[in-house]
Structure 1
Amino acid sequence: MTRPKVIDAWIQPWTKEVVEGLPDRALHVFKQYGQASRLQDGISLEVMMEEMDAAQVDISLISGGPMVPMHLVLEAMERWPDRLRAVVWTDPTQTSIVRALADLEALVRNYPVCGFKMEAFALWRDPTDRVFYPLYAKCAELGIALQTQVGGTGPLYPSRTGQPLLIDEIALDFPELKIVCGHVGSPWVDEMIHVAWKHPNVFIDTSARLPKYFEPAFTKFLTSFGQDKCIYASDWPVLDFQRPLGQVDSLGLSPEVREKFLVSNAITAFGLDDLRA
């Protein structure tokens, strides 16, 4: 496969089925982003891919989660296998931990899975909750990344679950596990930078954040001592594909740092070795 020029590390299906299954407290975030009218009727998978093409995004990591049914992720994977990689979710609180582990192993065996999505806030739990630890161990065993939300929650759920110091604990317990922390971590950006600097396998992705609003400390991290730790992502459809990508130029990145941010760091964190060519 030709080496991509842009990898978007966080998107999700947004069909009518997703919208109809969301609780009102989850829809709140789209009002805050001014996207409610665009998103309230859902967006087909076909339109998702058309928008991805229009923005010249080569590869996207498409994820399920507590509020996004996995069958939609798998359908998209089957239809566009050369453009999408899966970040999957299995719920130990709805079945059993043993069943969730078996389901995760089956997904990795049967699909090109590169990560496990954790949005602990949606379950009213911290990411350090004991029910998740066997899944983290399985991710490390299978060689897939943990991708999780950090920072304050846009949906009306407790924000404490997104504190970066919780990631510090997970990274200490699972030093082999690659952890990608989405949304940069505001209002705890300095904590997130410290945790990513401290742990070799902790990364930060910029999903749901426009470059023009990056905190100065994060921009400094991205352009200097954290240039190997920062990963581009949109969180489509919270942000569309084009808007955040179009603002990357405003960061004044060197060609080397720009390539790391848009491509190489995602390849490293998610084990996308076939895309290195």
Structure 2
Amino acid sequence: MTQSQISNLKSQIGAIDAWASCITPEAAKQWPDSFRHVFNRYRAPIGILEGMSIETMLAEMDEAGVEMSVLSAFVYEGVQVTNDMVAAWVRQYPKKFVGCGTVDPRGKPMKVLDEIKRMVNDLGLIALRLEPYAYGDGVRGLPPTERAYWPVYAKCCELNIPVALQVGHTGPLLPSEAGRPIYLDEVALAFPDLKIIGAHLG
């Protein structure tokens, strides 16, 4: 593809936010101290600290020139943006959002796999987001090579959906070790058909 073709494609599509969550005011009240630390340190926007409505998020997208967002579920301790919430927003604004679900791989395997199947087949979500730093005890995360993930990867292959794993450093007071990009090497070797996105770098 030539540079002019790429530029033309960009002008047709517009900007896409590939890693977005709408933290509602109800969910924002539950932010744990490990997250509030980074919010305070880096002067997080009010929309993160206090939450926002989906309509406010849409207005911010328009102001920033973002045409579409990959809207993701997010569950950590008491902060709950569920797969069902994301699916409802996608149904409400199908030209602005596509949906990405999540699960906790530490759960009972069959329940986890049933939820992945439900979020794709019943809710219409198109990808799975996993955040290895969050699946631990606050000192050690759960690297994506651990066996808890393997049934999840197999189900993603079966359903032909990508899995987005956070890699690299994490801002909250949680361990970054689980985000080493080299871990994805083993995952890719074990699951050659898995569509892997090493996400949220920067």
- What TM bracket, shorter-length normalisation? 0.7 to 0.9
The equivalent of 1:172 in structure 2 is: 189
SS at match of 1:51: helix
Check if 1:80 corresponds to 2:97.
no
Q: Give the residue type in structure 2 aligned to 1:114.
A: I
**Correspondence for 2:113 among 90, 101, 105:** 101
* Distance of 2:53 and 2:122 partners within structure 1: 24
Normalising by structure 2, report the TM-score. Answer: 0.83
Aligned-partner SS, 1:85? strand
The alpha-carbon deviation at position 87 of structure 1 amounts to 1.0
Instruction: Compare relative contact order (CA 8 Å, sep 6+) and give the higher one, 1 or 2.
Output: 1
Paired-residue identity, %: 35
TM-superposed CA distance for 1:65, in Å, is: 2.8
2:123 is aligned with 1:111: yes
CA RMSD of the aligned region, Å? 1.9
Q: Which amino acid aligns with 1:73?
A: V
CA displacement at 1:61 relative to structure 2: 0.4
Aligned to 1:180, the other structure's residue is in SS state: strand
Q: Deviations over 1:143-184 (max 9, x none)?
A: 111111111111111110000111111111111111111232
Uncovered stretches (5+) of structure 2, i.e. residues with no partner: 1-11, 137-141
Please give the secondary structure, in 2, of the residue aligned with 1:113. Answer: coil
Quote the residue 1:152 is aligned against.
Answer: 169
Shift in Å, 1:113:
1.9
Deviation string, structure 1 residues 56-82 (Cα, Å, up to 9, x no partner): 222210111332421331231121122
Residue of structure 1 aligned with 2:51, choices 33, 42, 45? 42
Match of 1:103, SS state, is: helix
For normalisation by structure 1, the TM-score amounts to 0.62
Whether the 8 Å CA contact 1:61–1:84 is kept in 2: the answer is: yes
SS at match of 2:156: helix
Whether the aligned pair in 1 keeps the contact of 2:73 and 2:100 (CA below 8 Å) is yes
Q: Deviations over 1:188-221 (max 9, x none)?
A: xxxxxxxxxxxxxxxxxxxxx4xxxxxxxxxxxx
The answer to whether the Cα contact below 8 Å between 1:13 and 1:72 also exists between their aligned partners in 2 is no
Q: Within 1, Cα distance between the matches of 2:20 and 2:154? A: 25
Q: Is the 8 A contact 1:117 1:147 kept in 2?
A: yes
1:6 aligns with 2:25: no
Paired residue type of 2:130? M
Greater CA drift, 5-14 or 65-74: 65-74
Aligned ranges for residues 98-247 of structure 1 at < 5 Å? 98-124=110-136, 125-184=142-201, 209=202
**Moved segments of 4+, more than 4 Å:** none
- Hey, what does 1:69 align to over in structure 2? 81
